[in-house]
Every structure is written in C-alpha cells, then in structure tokens.
Amino acid sequence: MAPGWSQAPTIVVVGAGIAGLAAAWEAADAGAHVVLLDADRRAGGKLASTSLLGRRIDTGADAFLARRPEGTRFVQDLGLAGSLVSPATSSALVWSRGRLQRLPDGLVLGLPSNLLALARSRVLSPAGVARAALDLVLPGDPVAADVDVAVGPLVRRRLGAEVHDRLVDPLLGGINAGSSDHLSLQAGVPQLAATVQGHRSLVAAAWLGRRRQRRTEGIGPVFSSVTGGLGRFADQAARKLAERGVQVVLGFTAERLERLSRTGGTKVGWSVVTGVGARFAADAVVLAVPPGPAGSLLEPHAPTSAARLGDIASASVAMVCLAYREADVARPLDGSGFLVPPREGRLMTACSWASSKWPEVAAPGTVVLRVSAGRAGDGRALALADDVLVARLHAELTAALGISAEPVARHVTRWINAFPQYSPGHAELVAAVEQGLPAGLEVAGAAYQGVGVPACIGSGRDAARRAVASAMTDLG
C-alpha cells in the first residue's frame, strides 16, 4: 500500500498484451491490488512464440526500438537485463524491378538523404532518381507542424511515385500493415514528422535528419530483444506479476462493464463481468484491448468514445515461419531480410531472415524465414487455407532466393484485426476518446499513442497511473 493511503484501490486490467502487462506492473508498483484479465489462455497478445525444429521463434514482433526507454526499462524491471540482445545484422533489401536490391544507404524512414547512393542502388529507375532530385528545386510550402497529412501524397508530390512505391510505402506499410496513402504523418510516424516539419525539400530534411542520427550511432543498438525472443519477455512478465500478487485470470472474456454504487448512488467503481458470469469489482478499469472490444464495453457508459473507437480501422496479417535446409537455399542470406512493395502484386509483404538476425532460432544446418502476408485493403492471404498459403509463399520465396526444396518445418499464425490504422487526424480522435471516458475507465494499447512495443508499454503505464489516481480520488 502506498504511503498515506487508508486502503489500497483495486485496478482491473482487461487485456494481457504488452500494454496490459505494463499497466498491471505500474498499478502494482503503485501499491494497488491488481486483477489482470484476458480471453486468451496465455498472456502476451502479439508477443508470442512457437517451437520450430525444437527452437523458439517469435510469431509476432521480434524486436523493439531500443532508443525509446520504455522497452529497455521494462526488461530491466523483469530481471532480464542480462538477456538483452540485438540483431546480428540490419542490412535490408527490397524486391524491385524483378530482383532483390540492397536498400540504399542513408534512408530516413524510407526518405533518401543521398541521391548518389539512391542512384547506385538501382532500386529506382534512372527516371525515378531524376524525379526524386527535383524535390531540391520544386516550389512549395514547408511541411506544417500543426496540420496532419497522409504520408503517401506528400512523398509522391515531392519525390515522385517511385520513391513512394519502392521505398517509403513498403517500409512504413510493413511497420503498420497498411498503406502510406492513409497513414497519419504526425501520429503514425512521429519520427518522420519531426524530421520533415518546417522543410520544403524532403531530401534536404532527410539529409539533416541523417546527420543528427550519425551523432548517436555507436551509443547503443537501434533494436533489441531478449534471448529466447519477445514471447519469453511476455511470459516472464506474466510470471513476475503473479509473484507480486497480481491476480492473473486467463481464458475469461470481459463481456460488459457495470457501475458499482454505495447506498445513495455515490459511484465507487466498476464491475467487470465475464461471459461465464464471473464478476471482478474494481475502483478503476484499464481497457488494454483492441478498439472493437473496447468500444463494445464502453458503449453503454461512454457512447461518444465508443463511436470514435469504431472509426479506427484494423488490418489482419498472416505470419508464416518456414525452416529450410541451408543447402537448399541458393542465395546467401546476408542481411535482415527484404520488403515487397504492393505494386509488385505478390502475396508476401516482407520476409525476415530470422536465422540471420537471431542465429539461435535455427537448428544446425537450417535457416528460418518469417514471412508476412496481408495488410489493410489486401486480405488475400487471410482467405487462404494454411496449406495453400504456405505453398503460395514458398513459390514466391523460390523465385527470390533460389530455393530448391520444400520447407522442413512451418508454422502459420493469423493476427486478425490486430494492427490499428493511424489515419490523418488520429491524434484528435484519440483525444476525443479519452475526453469522453467516465471517471475510473481508461484505455491503452497499440491503437492510441503508437504501435511499437515501447509505445504500448508507455500507453499501459500511463493509463495505469491515471486509473490509480482516479481510484484514490474516489476513495478519498
């Protein structure tokens, strides 16, 4: 119990993904009694792993941005600091103009900062490079800091279609499982917004941004994970929470919220009611679930917030992990993997060379690939049966990597409506959602302040702090 409290509040966290795990940790740190509830039978959400030829491999995110502090701090809180690892390679490629091409040096979230390196890479045609160079002389207003725009139209206008289609869209679309034509600059890619705002030329802005990046190179890795993968990270969080006295309740779906009142009608909290009728009383509740389920729970109590949550679209992605005999893959896997632009018409959107990034995931004599398929507006992969999906992706990999035999192991994971889409105006939408919440209800997760692991951890911790503060106000 925190100093000065007459009694500890009870906080119920609905959703045990990384945001919910972080929210539960923060609330427990504050001295609250915490219940962590999830419909799944395991905690972690999209931080999950499977066994492939006896080795653990992540089936969701496989790394987090190390230069944001939230991820590394949580790793340290869980006693895993000694397990921090970084990818063995970060050099990436793109499928462009009928072959794999090394991404040019000097990219800043897909924007070229070095036109000579862009030309030498052969990712773009000579005409595409010439069009990108026009950005340096084309007239136009600087990118405004107070007006949100979609990334795609901005890039096309300044740099041309090829830079957008072959660099920016596959990179940013891969991160968000969407299209840069509908991606908010300010909320969806805040690092890019900070780079280009106030500049007319995107090439010049990228050059300045790259110069700033070089000042921090060597300070530490850009991306990190833990030995055993981020699935282990989530499992450790759930175990440690239980050890700290958090009531971790898995396999129960939150069906509705009910208000709790004292005699006389004074509100003192909420009851989370599950599908089997179990009830969990709370002084405050953190909804760390996707916008759809959160909206359903909120609708009777905060209809405006629920309606705005319904405006957040979500994308589905299939993640297919494939193991091959090393001798059956002709192309050297000398990088982290490759991106596939939508304009290529292929089923896959990206292929991560997992065993090159994380050598521990492959059994001796094998290589492991993580292949992503599906994005907003492209549900082809999700409509295919597992066998058909694997066969289609294997055929595409054969063309790209010179594979001469079938995979020796496979695993298919389908992440349905798991990737929220940040359209222009997203920050204002989130503000409206939060402003419409009744006292004692908070939201957290990938739909609000960023989709990466550190952003979700930060969202969960912030929501828990607000929930505890609200609970203590009501408790007096």
Domain range 103-216, CATH architecture: Orthogonal Bundle (1.10)
C-alpha distance from residue 377 to each of 162, 228, 317, 373, 396 (Å): 21, 33, 11, 12, 20
Q: Are strands 223-226 and 64-65 parallel, antiparallel or unpaired?
A: antiparallel
Which pLDDT value is given to residue 261?
Answer: 78
Query: Could you give the angle at the alpha carbon of 228 between the alpha carbons of 356 and 73, nearest 5°?
Result: 105
Domain residues of the chain, as ranges?
10-45+69-79+230-312+422-475, 103-216, 314-420
Arch. (CATH architecture) of 10-45+69-79+230-312+422-475: 3-Layer(bba) Sandwich (3.50)
Residue 429 tokens, joined? 């939408």
Residue carrying the six token digits 């192309």: 331
> What angle, rounded to 10 degrees, do the helices at 69-77 and 453-475 form?
70
- C-alpha to C-alpha distance for 250 and 295, rounded to whole angstroms: 21
> Of 472, 475, 473, which is closest to residue 30 (Cα–Cα)?
472
pLDDT per residue, tens digit, the chain (476 aa), is 443 344 789 999 999 999 999 999 999 999 999 999 999 999 999 999 999 999 999 999 999 999 899 999 999 999 999 999 999 998 999 999 889 999 999 999 999 999 999 999 999 999 999 999 999 999 999 998 888 999 999 999 999 999 999 999 999 988 999 999 999 999 999 999 999 999 999 999 999 988 887 776 666 788 999 999 999 999 999 999 999 999 999 999 999 999 987 545 555 699 999 999 999 999 999 999 999 999 999 999 999 999 999 999 999 999 999 999 999 999 999 999 999 999 999 999 999 999 999 999 999 999 999 999 999 999 999 999 999 999 999 999 999 999 999 999 999 999 999 999 999 999 999 999 999 999 999 999 999 999 999 999 999 999 999 999 999 886 65
Compute the distance between CA of residue 361 and CA of residue 130 in angstroms, rounded to an integer. 42
Tokens of 169: 């869209």
**CA 119, CA 108: separation in Å to the nearest integer?**
16
CA terminus-to-terminus distance, the chain = 15
Any idea what DSSP says for residue 124? S
Question: Which pLDDT does position 174 carry in this prediction?
Answer: 85
CA–CA separation, 225 vs 64, rounded Å? 6
Which residue, 151, 92, 77, is CA-closest to 338?
92
Residue 30 CB burial class (10 angstroms; 0-12, 13-18, ≥19):
buried
Answer for the pair 68, 454: CB distance below 8 angstroms, yes or no.
yes
| Whole-number CA gyration radius for the chain | 23
pLDDT score, position 268: 67
DSSP secondary structure of 230-274: HHHHHHHHHHHHHHTT-EEEES--EEEEEEEE-TTS-EEEEEEEE
Rounded Cα gap, residues 201 and 171, in angstroms: 20
Structure tokens at 205: 């802005």
- The region, left, alpha or beta by phi > 0 then psi within -120 to 50, assigned to residue 210 is alpha
Distance CA 78, CA 133 (A): 48
**Location of structure tokens 């040096």:** 105
* Whole-number Å distance between alpha carbons of 203 and 115: 8
Residue pair 338/400 in contact by the 8 Å Cβ criterion: yes
Q: Are 111 and 192 in contact (CB under 8 A)?
A: yes
Please name the CATH architecture into which domain 314-420 falls.
Alpha-Beta Complex (3.90)
**Residue type at 329 in one-letter notation:** V
DSSP element (H, E) containing 215: helix 202-216
Tokens 């300010």: give the residue: 186
Structure tokens, 135: 């950005």
Backbone angles phi, psi at 182, to 5 degrees: -125, 20
Q: Phi then psi for 14, rounded to 5 degrees?
A: -100, 115
* Tokens 């050099």 -> residue: 91
